[in-house]
Amino acid sequence: MAIAIAVIVLAVGSVLFFFFSPWYLTPLASNWGAIDDTIQITLWVTGAVFLAVNLFLAYVIVRYRFNKRRRSQYDPENKSLEIWLTGLTTLGIAGLLAPGLVVWASFVAPPEDAHQVEVVGQQWHWSFRFPGEDGRFGSAHNRFIDERNPFGLIDDPVGQDDILITAPHLLLPVDRPVKMVLRSKDVLHNVKVANFRAKMDMVPGQTSYFWFTPTELGEYEIVCAQLCGIAHFAMRGRIEVVEQQTFDAWLAEQPTYAELAERAPGSPEAGEARYTSCAACHGAEGQGNQALNAPKLAGLDAWYLERQLELFRSGARGTHEEDIYGIQMRPFASMLPDRQAIADVAAYIETLPERPLQASLDAGDPERGARRYRTCANCHGQQGQGIRATNGPRLAGMPDWYLERQLQNFRQGIRGRHREDPYGNQMIEMAQVLVDEQAVSDVVAYIMTLPQPGGEMAAVTSAAREE
């Protein structure tokens, strides 16, 4: 009896839960209302079958409960009943399948007038490429990817006007069908925006695609929907659906492959003059000054310095009210007039001699920190040497008081929260791994045990040995 009641309550309750729970499809923002329709059809059909079977089951349990004086009906087969049930089920299944296949036929065939965007996945970032004025993508291949050619473009005249977007932020014009051409630099990824419904895996060594038409203006989060390693959950991006004019203006600002290739590298000589204003706090040799809360700069890579200076300058860093020292840094960064000035000063800092540092804190346990650090190592390197491909800056040789403060800031969202700081966003997610202040101290204590300048020598020789 109890089981009959349980079956009824669960069956009816499940259906009611569907109607009253706050969790359902995200608001639709693309043309794929047809996908939602197929979901609706499936819900109605399966919901009816679910109720019918379970309520009949409950009825049978009650009606034919044990009775000493009754015997079961001996009824091995009932051909007509079996044929009826098979027939009805087949019809129901066909009714579900048919609309599914019809919608699929349009899903696999992008419209002729769709414009194209290439989405490139890598551990754990997104980047994008537009075909430029000729409407054709230049050839690209993973084999040609290096630091100066992150998209792996082949020397192809068609590719010169391709527009490259390295930040994981994409704008799309509203009401224009778009074919997303997908590829991956490393492992599998899947570019997913819940509101668009459509998604597809990106597979290294081949391209895949899907298409949709954004129909609602707004901002949508990209998540990765195919397990891609340790920071899978933090592989985020953003698509803004805007009016055509806004899109055109934005696209015109983005650099083409040819423009990027022509950009002059930073000049250390020009940077040296600009560095004088930095030297007051950070020291003449970039050695840092704890009393002034100025971190060591020597040893940091130019790409990381450039990015941080850009963030300070644009207000994406150093604007949170609790980031006292970041706020102090902002006006100095704003003194740099343009991108070239930033590149110059970063290039100069790269030439500064690096000297090893002593630990100034002793609250952490490096052995416990070693285990915490295995998460960090994926982007910042086993030796904390920094990995450009993952946008993870160098940690080894940086002052512990600075690392600890930054980790605390990330944990609390004081640094990295700004929407124009995608790698900071990501670092907020990752810093949550450090569950308390002790964990922060431990991991910083471990980082202080990593080889400093001498360690870099060791890394070089081991790399040389591999070659």
Partner 1 sequence: MADHGQHSVPHAPAGEFDDMELVHPKTFLGKYVWSQDAKVIAIQYGVTAIAIGLVALVLSILMRLQLGFPNTFALIDPASYLQYVTMHGMIMVVYLLTALFLGAFGNYLIPLMCGARDMAFPYLNMLSYWFYLAAVLILMASFFVPGGATGAGWTLYPPQAISPGTPGIDGGILLMFASLSVFIAGFTMGGLNYVVTVLQARTRGMTLMRLPLTIWGIFMATVMALLAFPALLVAILMMLCDMLLGTSFFMPEMLNLGEQSGHEGGSPLLYQHLFWFFGHPEVYIVALPAFGIVSDILATHARKNIFGYRMMVWAIIIIGVLSFVVWAHHMFVSGMNPYFGFLFATTTLIIAVPTAIKVYNWVLTLWRGNIRMTVPMLFAIGFIFTFVNGGLSGLFLGNVTVDVPLADTYFVVGHFHMVMAVAPVLVVFGAIYHWYPKITGRMMDDTLGKVHFWVTFLGTYAIFYPMHFMGFAGVPRRYYGYGETAYIPDSIQTLNAFMSVAAIIVALVQLVFFYNLVRSYFHGRQAGPNPWQATTLEWQTEHTPPRHGNFGAELPVVYRWAYDYSVPGAKQDFLPQNMPPEAVEADDAAPRRSP
CB-nearer residue toward partner 1: 344 or 421 = 421
Q: Nearest CA to 221 among 233, 211, 209, 236? A: 236
For partner 1, give the closer residue by CB, 21 or 276: 21
User: Which residue in the block uniquely carries the two structure tokens 């895949």?
Assistant: 208
Tokens of 228: 């891609």
Least CB distance to partner 1 at residue 291 (A): 33
| Closer to partner 1 by Cβ: residue 224 or 333 | 224
**Nearest-approach distance from CB 362 to partner 1, in angstroms:** 20
Tokens of 265: 């590298």
Minimum distance from residue 9 beta carbon to partner 1 (Å): 10
Give 194 or 341: the residue with its C-beta nearer to partner 1.
194
Residue 287 vs 441, nearer CB to partner 1: 441
Closest approach, Cβ 60 to partner 1, in A, equals 5
Q: Work out how close the CB of 283 gets to partner 1 at its nearest, in angstroms, rounded to a whole number.
A: 31
Nearest residue (CB) to partner 1, 234 versus 345: 234
Least Å from the CB of residue 224 to partner 1: 8
Q: Could you tell me the smallest distance in angstroms from the CB atom of residue 358 to partner 1?
A: 27
Closest to 193 measured CA to CA, from 278, 252, 126? 126
| Contact between 288 and 296 (Cβ < 8 Å) | yes
Q: CB of residue 325 vs partner 1: minimum separation in angstroms?
A: 24
Q: Where are the alpha helices (DSSP H) in 186-323?
A: 244-253, 257-262, 268-282, 302-314
To the nearest whole angstrom, how small is the minimum distance from the Cβ of residue 37 to partner 1? 9
Task: Return the closest-CA partner of residue 35 out of 100, 108, 114, 109.
Answer: 100
Q: Which is nearer to partner 1, 70 or 465 (CB)?
A: 70
- Comparison of 378 and 449: residue with beta carbon closer to partner 1: 378
Alpha-carbon distance of 297 to 301, in angstroms, equals 9
Closer Cβ to partner 1, 54 or 334, answer by number: 54
Show Cβ contacts of residue 190 under 8 Å, excluding neighbours closer than 6 positions. Answer: 199, 200, 201, 202, 224, 225, 226
Smallest separation, CB 292 to partner 1 (Å): 33
Strand ranges in 149-272 using DSSP code E only, listed in sequence order = 163-165, 169-173, 178-184, 189-192, 199-202, 208-212, 218-224, 236-242
Q: Which is nearer to partner 1, 34 or 174 (CB)?
A: 34
Task: In whole angstroms, give the CA distance from residue 157 to residue 162.
Answer: 10
DSSP summary character for residue 68: T
Three-state secondary structure of 251-270: HHHCCEHHHHHHCCCCCHHH
What is the C-alpha separation between 181 and 462, in angstroms, rounded? Answer: 38
Supply the minimum distance, in Å, between the C-beta of residue 66 and partner 1: 5
Distance of CA 303 to CAs 242, 300, 308, 346, 416, Å? 30, 9, 9, 8, 17
Residue of 223, 240, 283, 232 lying closest to 117 (CA atoms):
240
Q: CB of 271 within 8 A of CB of 346?
A: yes
Rounded to a whole number of angstroms, the minimum distance from the CB of residue 124 to partner 1 is 8
> CA 174, CA 241: separation in Å to the nearest integer?
6
Angle at 453 between CA 451 and CA 454, to 5 degrees: 65
Contact (Cβ atoms closer than 8 angstroms) between residue 241 and residue 27: no
Q: Could you say which DSSP state residue 346 is in?
A: H
Closer Cβ to partner 1, 67 or 276, answer by number: 67
Name the residue nearer to partner 1 (CB basis): 50 or 304: 50
